[in-house]
Amino acid sequence: MTRPYLLAATDSSPSRRFYDVIVIGSGIGGLTAAVGAARKWKVALITKSVLRDTTTFLAQGGIAAALSEQDSADLHFEDTIRAGAGLCREEAVRILVEEGPLRVRELMEICPKFDRAGDDLVLASEGAHTVPRIVHAGGDATGMQVTSALAEAMRHGSRVQVLENEFVVDLLTNGGRCIGAVSLDLRTGDFTLNFATATVLATGGSGQIYSLTTNPRIATGDGMAMAWRAGAAIGDMEFVQFHPTGLYSDESPIFLITEALRGEGAYLLNHAGERFMVGVDPRAELGPRDVVVKEMVRQMQDAGKDFLFLDATHLDCDMLRQRFPNVSETLREKGYDLCHDKIPIAPVCHYMIGGIVTDVWGRSTLPGLYASGEVANTGVHGANRLASNSLLEGLVFSDRIVRDLDRYIVDMEELVRRLEIDLPGPSRKGNRPEEIAGGRRHLQTMMSRYVGTVRSEDGMLTALEELRRLHSSLQAPRADLEEYELFNLLTVSVHVVRAALLRQESRGAHLREDFPETDDANWKHHINFRLREAEDERKRSPLLEG
């Protein structure tokens, strides 16, 4: 994991492709970047699964943007900063809220399915927004509608080469620049060197470091891990957002019940049938996510249970079925009636706030490498993301990446085309499938037990020790998706634990029982990691140093 490359045995020498831009990942950040870049450049979009297998596709709530007369960029700015618990980068937030409305209107031109009442957009309320400002499509199917529209635009209106079922193993670097990525075709087992003047990582989050997550199985933190191996800075890794209302079950992924339901008036109830958020936050069930989750944890501990209830039984049934068709139907399939049942729910891992550190043009600290969406850490979310700001972030910052490419590609093109790279020797040993599957389960159990909603030093040291043990029990990976994913999960997990151990305070999504207060004097700053000696694979593993 200290090596710049995770590459493995290959009998044939890899083939080569050349692009101006490669985009890795097919959520809102990746699709927006690919469609925009292809207006001018030769672009490939690479995804390890199929286009729609993304976290964006599952997004229910919608996109936050100041589009109504009663709203303004200033109000959206204030809400975002307040929710972010002191760690938002204000310049990035300002850009998000000011450029957001135009980006959303542009999206509406290719995605006509946004919900309207007559000519007016229907705007939803969600936690910690002072006014209704969430636009949504298909009721609670925003991600599906947006992904389909962007994918359609990419397939029919642009010249993007789409490469599905290709796993990007590692970034290619030379002379301190990113010059593309190595991919593995999951159907043929062939490696390809994809040279590109600019590379955009939009690989999404890392929810699979926990046993219970709303994220799909593909969310294994690949982008963060490969960027770190390549020498880019990653930061804010301790801030993992748990969503208050995952359906209580042991399914994977956990079915999310959108916060917009609480926006329509649904209650959170404890085991005594009481609305426990009343009196805890002036907005009760619509308080910021970190505040709601903290109180949920307390309520569950008091009751000795690991779930609570979401209650929409007092709301109009026709409205519920019309506004939330996907939630109503999925719950029905699972044996619950949203109109008549109190639905068991629990906080569940939902969103990685941390990621690849970028500036306001989506540029990572590694020249030639951009990042957008959940994999990126633009700083707009601070220590606690405001609901429905994430799709907006992908839209806004991918647009800025596309604009910045014009400058970067003109500067770099000639130089990159003349570069050669030197890949390390292959490994042939690998690990048995049962070791990999068991390793993944063990990692998820350790992270869930010790580095979940409530953390303490003792527990996190135990988790770190177990992650170290797991790492040292593994051989270098062969050309195998599951093996690569486990190494990436390990890299992300270790950085989450290390950052969470360092931050001796509670702030936003990071809750420590041994340091329950927020400590601005010592901790009002970001924690970043950067591998400076990536070139030398014989060096001791900085990943696993204490």
Site string for ligand SIN, 330-369 (x = CB under 6 A): --------------------x-------------------
Instruction: Identify the residue among 61, 205, 379, 459 touching ligand SIN (CB under 6 A).
Output: 61
Rounded least distance, CB 51 to ligand SIN, Å: 21
Q: Is 507 a catalytic residue?
A: no
Question: Token digits for 145?
Answer: 């509608």
Q: Does 1 bind ligand SIN (CB under 6 A)?
A: no
Question: Token digits for 529?
Answer: 């990691």
Q: Does 291 bind ligand SIN (CB under 6 A)?
A: no
What part of residues 375-404 is at the interface with ligand SIN (CB under 6 A)?
387-388, 390
What part of residues 455-514 is at the interface with ligand SIN (CB under 6 A)?
none
For 447-520, list the strands marked E by DSSP: none
Q: What is the residue whose two structure tokens read 């629990």?
A: 346
Q: Is residue 501 within 8 Å of residue 507, measured between CB atoms?
A: no
Q: Does 20 bind ligand SIN (CB under 6 A)?
A: no
DSSP-assigned beta bridge partners for residue 124: 134
Q: Using CA atoms, how far apart are residues 422 and 292, in angstroms rounded to an integer?
A: 50
Q: Does 60 bind ligand SIN (CB under 6 A)?
A: yes
Q: Which residue, 61 or 84, has its beta carbon nearer to ligand SIN?
A: 61
Of 94, 289, 323, 440, which one is the catalytic site residue?
289
Question: Quick one: which of 341, 280, 354 has its CA closest to 313?
Answer: 341
Q: Using CA atoms, how far apart are residues 373 and 25, in angstroms rounded to an integer?
A: 10
Rounded least distance, CB 85 to ligand SIN, Å: 16
Q: Which residue, 20 or 259, has its beta carbon nearer to ligand SIN?
A: 259
Question: Token digits for 354?
Answer: 């941390």
User: Applying CB under 6 A, which part among 95-103, 258-266, 471-479, 520-528 lies near ligand SIN?
Assistant: 258-266
Q: Which residue, 199 or 241, has its beta carbon nearer to ligand SIN?
A: 241
Q: Which residue, 387 or 490, has its beta carbon nearer to ligand SIN?
A: 387
Rounded least distance, CB 223 to ligand SIN, Å: 19
Q: Does 259 bind ligand SIN (CB under 6 A)?
A: yes
At residue 88, what is the residue type?
C
Rounded least distance, CB 390 to ligand SIN, Å: 5
Run of H or E including 528? strand 528-529
Rounded least distance, CB 353 to ligand SIN, Å: 11
Rounded least distance, CB 128 to ligand SIN, Å: 11
Task: State the residue number with the nearest CB to ligand SIN.
Answer: 61
Q: Which residue, 138 or 438, has its beta carbon nearer to ligand SIN?
A: 138
Instruction: Render the burial of 30-44: b for 16+ CB within 10 Å, e for the rest.
Output: bbbbbbbbbeebbbb
Site string for ligand SIN, 194-233 (x = CB under 6 A): ----------------------------------------
User: Applying CB under 6 A, which part among 103-111, 257-265, 294-302, 335-343 lies near ligand SIN?
Assistant: 257-265
Run of H or E including 116? strand 116-117
Q: Is residue 50 within 8 Å of residue 165, measured between CB atoms?
A: yes
Rounded least distance, CB 241 to ligand SIN, Å: 8
Neighbours of 185 (CB within 10 A): 15
- Rounded to whole angstroms, the maximal C-alpha distance in the chain is 69
Q: Which residue, 152 or 251, has its beta carbon nearer to ligand SIN?
A: 251
Strand bridging mode 342-352 / 240-247: antiparallel
Instruction: Identify the residue among 193, 260, 446, 476 touching ligand SIN (CB under 6 A).
Output: 260
What part of residues 432-461 is at the interface with ligand SIN (CB under 6 A)?
none
At residue 136, what is the residue type?
H
Question: Quick one: which of 149, 150, 183, 222 has its CA closest to 19?
Answer: 183
Q: Is residue 284 within 8 Å of residue 277, measured between CB atoms?
A: yes
Q: Is residue 320 within 8 Å of residue 338, measured between CB atoms?
A: yes
Instruction: Identify the residue among 258, 270, 299, 431 touching ligand SIN (CB under 6 A).
Output: 258
Strand bridging mode 166-174 / 177-185: antiparallel
At residue 540, what is the residue type?
R
Q: Is residue 463 within 8 Å of residue 447, measured between CB atoms?
A: yes
User: Applying CB under 6 A, which part among 5-13, 256-264, 354-362, 428-436 lies near ligand SIN?
Assistant: 256-264
Q: Is residue 234 within 8 Å of residue 220, measured between CB atoms?
A: no
Q: Which residue, 60 or 211, has its beta carbon nearer to ligand SIN?
A: 60
Q: Using CA atoms, how far apart are residues 417 and 158, in angstroms rounded to an integer?
A: 24
Active-site residue list: 289
Q: Which residues bind ligand SIN (CB under 6 A)?
A: 60-61, 258-260, 350, 387-388, 390
